[in-house]
A and B are shown apart, each in its own frame.
Chain A
Amino acid sequence: MTTNAQAPLLSRLFGRRHSRTSPLALLVRNRLAAAGLVVLCLVVFIALITPWLPLPDPNATQPSDRLIPPFTTGHWLGTDQLGRDILSRLLWGTRVSLVVGIAATLVAALIGSTIGIVAGYFGKRVDSTLMRGIDMMMAFPYILLALAIVAVLGPGLLNALYAIAIVNIPFFARNVRGVTVTLRNREFVDAALLSGKNHFLILVTEILPNVLPVIVITMSTTVGWMILETAGLSFLGLGAQPPQADLGSMLGEGRRLISTAPFVSTVPGVMIFILVMSINLLGDGIRDALDPRLKAGALRRPAARTRTSVEARQASQYEQRGVLDVRALRTEFHLDNQVHRAVNGPTFSIEAGECLGIIGESGSGKSVTAMSLLGLVASPPGMIMGGQVNYRDTNLLGISDNDLRRYRGGELAYIFQDPLSTLHPLFTVGDQLVEAMRSHYAISYTDAWKKAVTLLEEVRIPNAANRAHSYPHQLSGGMRQRVSIAMALANEPKLIIADEPTTALDVTVQAQILALLNRLRDDKGASLMFITHDFGVVRQVCHRVAVMYAGEIVEIGPVEEILAQPAHPYTRRLISCVPDVERKTGKLEEIPGLPPQVNNLPEGCKFADRCDMVADQCRQAPIELKTMNERHQARCIFAKEVV
């Protein structure tokens, strides 16, 4: 489940160029963590300056002044059972507890991480031996283990520290081993081995830096726990030696007075609570800030529907053309105070029974365009800023959630790129098909299952009745994509939006799927919006094609016409990328350079930097779509001349 399928869209969009917020900034932005940091700093600060504060001797007993209640002059937090000043003992005790907690964490981290790294790196017998040992430690009730260790070593703060550290070794060992195992198989380790580095050097120079974040995260989440456990040992009488104060022993001594003088235990109890709470809050923050999964943005849950601006939610103002009519759609991603304009106003429509191809490189905004139609762009960070998506004379961007849900998978169905990650791994394909139907129609499970089997037969899945009981991972890529298609067909859609449905498949399977889609579209009379980066595919299935670049349509028109006479330089480049069976040379041309960053789009033609025909006027102002003929437009000032 830990497969890191974090919106592939986002990483493709922003990739490596996405500027990362520093961990510290992330930490400060998390308000709870920041509060924890402030409280912890305060506690640490007070603990540090305690020796210079005008406090009574924490160990000076005065039995006649015992159990003075708090808020008495001279003893602001009262006195304990021997008449010692609680405030003074509290501050000195906090120092001790902090040091013990941190030291125990360091010891546990050092030993545990070493075991973890060694086990993970050397694997095989070393690994299984070490991890069996760790298993044993985990099976041993931890408090009893700590108790037994202290019983062996004798009581005392230092021994309690060792006991706590030993008991917590497994946490570090397990976490670190897990990361090390994945690192071990990475190429840089092999490279280092080949270059003649010995194991020790590799461990220290290659592995350690990479597991360090995990160690830090584990440490930050265990310090608080360590302080609690030290307190627990002191509670059982095995910690600090009298008269020395630490929070646990204060609590342990005070608990006997809990019914007569509750403040004696409440004060250290609250202090432990504040200390551990602030550490835990901070620890959470540190984890969030260092977690690699968060690099692409906050670990945020996408809403059921893309956030949509008021402007985009306006009722339809146009007379609708075709089945689906998209006007000036604008979708943006708001990340780290930057605006990434992914979709910049494409306008197009799809006729009944027509197949419209949308083509472009990675990051051209074609997928985001497709997702925006039914509000499936992850949000946050996505937001639809403007435009309209008209279907049945209503703007889909403005309808209620429930109405939208009814269209989704009903009249408007999606097929996604990688069916392994887009099908739910834990349900059978039959079950997933049934669900698709039952989300839209009141139909019994058995009937739906029968229909599901029929659908699977329809998409040419052999032995469909059995296959329906399979889980996605038990099917081949082609079969899975057929299942996706069957799912899209389940509720007799008017329009199927297929987002690179064949990209993940090999060439022969790809051909079969395309043929299948073509046939089904003909049979069912549905429209198809087909997103791809491959003109070869477009040629096989599409009637018209829209070429997208940097979120804009740069050329749109009938497939035959565009293939024969591409009007935009980018289109020409794309076409020449297609391996041509007829052309014997078969040399593929790559397009030099990279698409512009969508958080910093140029004013003029967005393709200018990569265009071999670029002229000064290209960069001066936004380029309008020029009409070649009634059905063919292109966004290039040289377009007419080309034709």
Chain B
Amino acid sequence: MATPLWRYVGKRLLLLIPVLFGLSLIVFFIMALIPGDPAQAILGSYATPENVARLNAQLGLDKSLPQQYLTWLGNIFQGDFGRSYNQNREVISIIAERFGATLILAGTALVLCSIFGLLAGIISASRQYGLVDKAITLIVLIGISMPAFWLGLLMIMLFAVEWRLLPASGMFSIYGGGDLPDLIRHLILPAGTLAFIATGVIARLTRASMLEVLRQDFIRTARAKGVNERRVIYRHAFKAALVSIVPVIGIQAGFVLGGAVYIETVFQWPGMGSMLVNAISTRDLLLVQGGVLVIAAAYVLINLAADVVQFILDPRVTA
């Protein structure tokens, strides 16, 4: 069993290359279509056409687009992601700084929404049409019916400003922090908000999958064997349901990474999302390029991980 799994992972990793290559082309294409250029953004109010042209020449942006792309592509193979025009720093070091923060935020949110989503879905399904089920259905729906940024602002207003329980923004305290408890205190609001809005999809899917699985013959077999009902639900039904939920958790990672853009902006989280929004508006092509590729790679890898989990869970899946 070990061999096909590794071969499968290898094959999937190879498939990552054309996806990333295609994405880099798309990013280049889109960024080229956006009016304005980095020089404009750097010069701000002083961006006369003359100044812009001079600065563009300095930045190497006076070359043709295919030429710029090929240069970039060539550098990539040497591990050089180029320099951000706007910050005049290595793209790779900017991303290195930001990516960890996004991973912590989105990762925590993903774990939280998976746990809560699965639990809510299981409980909902095992109490179908009961009061608990209805309550969970409603709460979960509230989550997916609220604009993320609005919810985030309400959270700040309540927990940080009114009750002063948690910090309003940032990732670490400015003074006297920097340890894990400090990080967790800063993480609770943004990750909680992001998880709350992302829980819905998983909870609803879990409920539906559980309901479907519970009608399967092997559940009847388990009951006929005299297995107790808790075990029927948490072992037999849940494991079977998980097989169809895991890939969706993978896709949900995309949602969480996307939603992180709003959350990072509102909570001032030093992650990739807020950086990329800014990079798009300042036409910082290479930074956008690098950032999108890293996020896309993360997304694809998370989905690969989901597939591997599914592979391990379900012996019927062949690589």
With A140-B23, A280-B145 known as contacts, the answer to whether A439 contacts B227 (CB < 8 A) is yes
B243 and A251 form a contact (CB under 8 A)? no
**A140, A374, A378, most chain B CB atoms within 10 A:** A140
A633 within 8 A of B: no
Q: Measured between alpha carbons, how far is A151 from B34 in the docked complex, in Å? A: 6
User: Is B218 close to A, CB under 8 A?
Assistant: yes
Contact with A along B45-61 (1 / 0, CB 8 A): 00000000000000000
Establish whether residues A301 and B125, one from each chain, have CB atoms under 8 Å apart when the complex forms.
Answer: yes
> Which of the residues B31, B224, B239, B314 comes within 8 Å of A408, measured between beta carbons?
B224
Cβ–Cβ contact B217 & A277, under 8 A: no
Question: Cβ of A141 and Cβ of B257 under 8 Å apart?
Answer: yes
Q: Tell me, in angstroms, the Cα distance from A169 to B312 when the chains sit together.
A: 31
- Determine whether the beta carbon of B157 is less than 8 Å from that of A421: no
Please give the distance in Å from B149's CB to the nearest CB on chain A. 5
* CB nearest neighbor in A for B16: A139
Q: Is the CB of A421 within 8 A of B218?
A: yes
**Do the beta carbons of A426 and B22 come within 8 Å of each other?**
no
The minimal Cβ–Cβ distance linking A495 to chain B, given in whole angstroms, is: 13
> Is residue A32 within 8 Å, beta carbon to beta carbon, of the partner chain?
yes
Please tell me if the beta carbons of B211 and A301 are within 8 angstroms of each other in the complex: yes
Known contacts A136-B19, A151-B34, A235-B149, A143 near B280 by CB under 8 Å = no
Interface size on A, residues (CB 8 A): 82
Contact A224 B218 (CB under 8 A): no
For the complex, give the distance between the alpha carbons of A408 and B226 in Å.
Answer: 5
A138 partner residues in chain B, CB cutoff 8 A: 251, 254, 299
Contact flag A277-B280 (CB < 8 Å), given A5-B216, A136-B26, A435-B227: no
What's the Cα separation between A149 and B214 when bound, in Å?
A: 44
- A526 vs chain B, min Cβ distance (A): 16
For A433, the closest partner residue in chain B by CB is B225
In the assembled complex, B319 has its CB within 8 A of some CB on chain A: no
A407 contacts the other chain (Cβ, under 8 Å)?
yes
B126: contacting residue among A151, A300, A301, CB under 8 A: A301
Q: Which residues of B contact A135 (CB under 8 A)?
A: 19, 300
Partner of B226, one of A144, A231, A259, A440: A440
Task: Determine if A141 and B273 form an interchain contact, defined as CB atoms under 8 angstroms apart.
Answer: yes
Question: Chain B residues near A408 (CB, 8 Å)?
Answer: 223-226
State A293–B214 Cα separation when bound (angstroms): 14
A422 is an interface residue with CB less than 8 A from chain B = yes
> Which residues of chain B are within 8 angstroms of A378 by Cβ–Cβ distance?
215, 220
The distance from the CB of B140 to the nearest CB of chain A, in whole angstroms, is: 10
A422 to B129, CA, bound (A): 27
Q: Is the CB of A273 within 8 A of B19?
A: no
Among A15-23, A70-78, A410-418, A587-595, the stretch in contact with B: A410-418
Q: How far is the CB of B106 from chain A (nearest CB, A)?
A: 10
Asked if A638 lies at the interface with its beta carbon under 8 angstroms from chain B, I say no
Residues in A whose Cβ lies below 8 Å from that of B280: 144, 147-148, 151
How many whole Å from A634's CB to the nearest CB in chain B?
32
| A374 and B224 in contact, given A144-B280, A144-B292, A418-B217 (Cβ under 8 angstroms) | yes
Cβ contact within 8 Å between A280 and B295: no
Instruction: Known A141-B295, A142-B254, A302-B214; judge A436-B316 contact (CB<8 A).
Output: no
Task: For B258, list chain A residues within 8 Å (CB).
Answer: 141-144
Q: Does A220 contact B (CB under 8 A)?
A: no
Known: A1-B240, A304-B229. A236 touches B273 (CB 8 A): no
Bound-state CA distance A149–B257 (Å) is 18
Cβ contacts A388-403/B at 8 Å (1 or 0 each)? 0000000000000100
Contact (Cβ within 8 A) B211 A299? yes
Residues 230-285 of A contacting B (Cβ, < 8 Å) = 231-232, 235-236, 248, 251, 255, 258-259, 262, 265, 269, 272-273, 276-277, 280-281, 284
Instruction: Please tell me if the beta carbons of B226 and A409 are within 8 angstroms of each other in the complex.
Output: yes
Contacts A142-B258, A410-B226; A301 near B214 (Cβ below 8 A): yes
A300 and B34 contacting across the interface, CB-CB below 8 Å:
no
Q: Does B150 contact A (CB under 8 A)?
A: yes
By the criterion CB–CB under 8 Å, are B236 and A302 in contact? Answer: no
Interface residue B241 (Cβ < 8 Å from any Cβ of A): yes
Q: Are A32 and B137 in contact (CB under 8 A)?
A: yes
**Contacting pair B147 A232 (CB below 8 A):** yes
Known pairs A148-B31, A410-B226; A300 contacts B211 (CB<8 A): yes
Return chain A residues, CB-CB under 8 Å to B262.
143, 232, 235
Task: Return the contact of A139 from the options B23, B240, B244 (Cβ within 8 A).
Answer: B23
In B208-249, the 8 Å CB interface with A consists of 208-229, 231-232, 236, 239-241, 243-244
Q: Is the CB of B236 within 8 A of A6?
A: no
Contact A416 B243 (CB under 8 A): no
Cβ-based interface call for B71 (8 A): no
Residues of chain B lying within 8 A (CB to CB) of residue A302: 214-215, 219-220
Contact call B243/A1, Cβ cutoff below 8 A: yes
Q: Is B42 an interface residue (CB 8 A)?
A: no
For B244-278 the 0/1 string (1 means CB < 8 A from A) is 10000001001101110110000000000100110
**A524 CB-CB contact with B under 8 Å:** no
**Size range of the interface on B?**
35 or more
Known: A136-B26, A299-B208, A423-B218. A277 touches B276 (CB 8 A): no
CB distance from A575 to the nearest CB of B (A): 30
A198, B222: Cα distance in complex, Å: 50
Closest to B31 in A: A148
CB-based contact A426/B313 at 8 Å: yes
Most buried by A among B215, B229, B296: B215
Separation of A145 and B147 alpha carbons in the complex (Å): 18
Smallest CB gap from A171: residue in B: B251
- The answer to whether A304 and B150 have CB atoms under 8 Å apart is no
Determine how close the nearest CB of chain A comes to the CB of B80; give it in whole angstroms: 23
Q: A255 to B126, alpha carbons, bound, how many Å?
A: 40
| Bound Cα distance A421, B211 (Å) | 16
CB contacts (< 8 Å) of A273 on chain B: these are: 142, 145-146
| Contact indicator A139/B157 (Cβ below 8 Å) | no
Is residue B174 within 8 Å, beta carbon to beta carbon, of the partner chain?
no
- Cross-chain contact B217 with A421 (CB below 8 angstroms): yes
Which residues from chain B contact A473 at a C-beta distance below 8 Å? Answer: 315-316
B34: chain A residues within 8 A (beta carbon)? 148, 151-152
A56 at interface, CB cutoff 8 A: no
> Shortest beta-carbon distance, A9 to chain B, in Å?
9
Inter-subunit contact B150/A265 (CB<8 Å): yes
Question: With A141-B276, A236-B277, A301-B214 known to touch, is A426 a contact of B315 (CB < 8 Å)?
Answer: yes
A622 within 8 A of B: no
8 Å CB contact of B150 from A255, A401, A407:
A255
Identity of the chain B residue whose Cβ is nearest the Cβ of A230 in the assembled complex:
B147
Q: Is the CB of A228 within 8 A of B31?
A: no
Contact status B240-A422, CB under 8 Å: no
Residue of A nearest to B142 (CB): A277
Residues of B within 8 A of A248 (CB): 147
Q: A519 near B: Cβ within 8 Å?
A: no
Asked if A423 contacts B226 (CB within 8 A), the reply is no
Chain A contacts for B309, CB-based, 8 A: none
27 contacts between A and B (CB under 8 A): A5-B217, A132-B22, A139-B296, A140-B26, A140-B296, A141-B254, A141-B261, A148-B288, A151-B280, A152-B34, A224-B145, A228-B145, A248-B147, A258-B157, A262-B157, A273-B146, A299-B212, A300-B129, A301-B125, A302-B215, A302-B220, A378-B215, A408-B225, A424-B218, A425-B316, A435-B222, A439-B225
Beyond contacts A141-B295, A474-B315: 13 other A-B pairs, Cβ-Cβ < 8 A, are A132-B18, A136-B22, A142-B254, A148-B30, A273-B142, A300-B129, A374-B224, A406-B226, A414-B221, A414-B224, A418-B217, A440-B226, A473-B315
A-B pairs with lowest CB-CB distance, top 3 = A409-B226, A409-B225, A139-B296
Point out residues on A near B: beta carbons under 8 Å: 1-2, 5-8, 32, 132-133, 135-136, 138-144, 147-149, 151-152, 154, 224-225, 228, 231-232, 235-236, 248, 251, 255, 258-259, 262, 265, 269, 272-273, 276-277, 280-281, 284, 293, 299-302, 304, 374, 376, 378, 401, 405-410, 413-414, 416, 418, 421-427, 435-436, 439-440, 471, 473-474, 487, 491
